[in-house]
Structure 1
């Protein structure tokens, strides 16, 4: 720029390079404390992630940009601010620096508008610059995407911010079948009704890293710039027969390049290109960038998205696991690349407290797991509450770290944080196009319907044989509709579409897949017991789901043996709660030996846990005078160290209800008088050790070392956000008279190595306990 730039020119560059929208309020100098001499109030939207009509509110006052504190903020305040920005009204507002922390002064605090004011300065507030807030309390607004008719402002600089809201990689290989994900291409930004290019003068690896992160890739790799520059300047050849074939030409369609951006300069830690500094070409942009070429970026895909063959893919997955993926994981998210962040410390998985949790730290997590940069850094257990220890607090990454463990953090104490403050992330992932290969038909809402998939060029239905919650979860994930609320196996009551042919059968999923095509299936050899649209598979999806887990310490504290006389077990026998050998007993004489314990089942998810069956199909049990809302709610098993089952029990859902709840959570479900059954989020259902069937019949078990295993919702009858934490395991030693139960933990709470030690440990107990 040179040293001759004026203040106004410097300000203009700052505004354009930061991609902020700002407008003059077109109002007189506001009321309240007398403002300092200077320009009129101006407003802009800033921050990320956002759209053109939302963001952190920033005010230009007294020759300085600043923010507004969220104390006492309201929708009425947002209405006034959105009108300043040229929108008709507000749709909502955001607190706690949702769009990132601003810098500079906090100009306004305790703003209180009625909503009809012409200027934010007409509202009540503490006075300009008088605030007791930090930038962690910066307020944001979400404006209705409708402009005020005829709204014009002489101070509006061309709203170029919107030109970098949408960024893409256009493959540079022409004529080839488009493969997904696109890992290399020309960087283009949306401009008006088309796309514009970026001049690569000064383009470096840090810029590429930001673009790759946006596209869902953890890292960038070097591009042969000279090769692409030569290809871009070569004249298109005449169409000849020899041009057609496997060798494809680069830049073969002679496009008229439309350069809009140049001098892009990123630090490499930004989560979006709009957060970097850059300049715009003015005037004849197509004649610009004479010394350069379009910026081309090449990215390294994470293991889940690699296009390499199966062997290389497996190698890369193993390599990533060795490099630290086993020390960090995401739990509870509906989509790939999102979830509660859990870290492994001292062989035990735990969570991260959300104090000072931001996009820089979240991006380190995302890249470490093989995704791109972070779209959102979520606080307040937005992906459900975790269990066990909270390992880290006040994580403060620079954004350049290879692992979260390289970032500064504070160790946690129980008084510092609770699981209601668990941190979570949403990561950028590559576009794979999976949602274009599936659709729902006939449902009453967009969240339900008969599943139709695309095979080749035709659409067809899916056989519902073996269609369970796991398969439905994958379908809902592929559709981008969250979790599966119900896996529907008869869809005759939904309106029939033109699609009646069945194209997929034998679908069997593990539950983590991104597409039904990744699950096991019959391929082209269809085999379906019940054909026709009546028995086509369907789903009802939900944006939230429950998450049940057992309170493991209570099992350990309450376990004991009881020899119970047979004459007291008629009801239990009727409900099949005894071992099969009980049928051969000399009733009513003799006894059964029972391992009894209490179980406390918590719902830590984001939706109430409700029985799959409606009240009309609950089964009345005369013996115990109660309704069963689920056939089997839990499995209780005694296993040998090598996994062989030596005793088992099961418990039907005697009655799902809220026994106790956390503070500020009201009970909703109660069994009395044929009440509604379920477990509310933040509540738990307690089954005491003295309830019938709350046991395992170990009459036939020989003395030895065993594993006690309890599995909740074992048949996946009800959707949950996380099935991997439904099992609980304990070590136990039985000497024929007494039993010792210890080391109880949720099944996935320990590292793989610790789990292997746990399973070997019972065999080494003889000398320690006997």
Structure 2
């Protein structure tokens, strides 16, 4: 697919575009606290040139960190730079070993600088994305493979947190190959609360415990940098992503169901069910993030993220898990209504019998006897015929008592 610059490039003031097949000779990070963080520059035609921050992602930053032997990329942001200069837009797949293998487009204008920070102590290699792979640690300026023996879930929690990759999902030896590096001699004893793996306690590992198929393979959930809001569910709503230190609503220009499916899978919400563009609200920020994806990404952050100020669109999506939750809620509501109707029917039957004067009693023999107001009236009529205050004969009274006892 032919390289397309981020949409933000169309809104910037560009004086001249230079397309060239030439490749930069080298790359560096400047202006940071060390050689593994700072603004990205490439050496081209005898000069260090700026890499534009438009469309710069952790996928691009991962290539720079790999080329500089600086471990894993943990941030990919941009810094405004007003001076007019010659720079480059860069687009990487993320698996390249050097930035020169990525696609370039030269541009002259006022460009934001791409800024990256690498973690020069631990990394995940040969994985399916930025947050999965074989665990390797830098010890005494050399990278070593981490042994599966003794590496537990608490150690994995620290690694995922340090790489800004969320929480562990799976931990399995040899899942991403053995690699060519030697095993380290230390066993990590993390509590799970540390911010850096090298801050954990260690113990000397026993020899000959890390033979074949013992390299740690780790998969993390990934950073929590995408969410759906204003939809009443975590699996439905307006798409927002955490960009340049804040949550911003994604611009829906050129949005597709493929991007919706990518968002749903990243959130663990199943697959895409529906999406739609709508007019944005008022009081908009100056720029919106605009993702441009090629289809092979596992998360929205791996797409090229440009910035655009016009036109403004908002995109709302619905994932399949949201529909499943809705169906479950409807079933529960129907069940509640049915139980309520059954209760109403039972109460109505009870009230009908009560208003007609019927009740049900059980005698000593266990038989059910119906009594009510009609039986009471018959007894009253017999008493009237006998006369007020008339006393029954003793033998007749005894017969009546015996009859009542039998009943």
TM-score range normalised by the length of the shorter chain: 0.3 to 0.5
Per the normalisation by structure 1, the TM-score is 0.23
Give 1 or 2: higher helix fraction.
2
More strand by share: 2
Structure label with greater radius of gyration: 2
| TM-score (norm. length: structure 2) | 0.38
Task: Identify which of structures 1 and 2 has the higher relative contact order when contacts are C-alpha pairs closer than 8 Å and 6+ apart.
Answer: 2
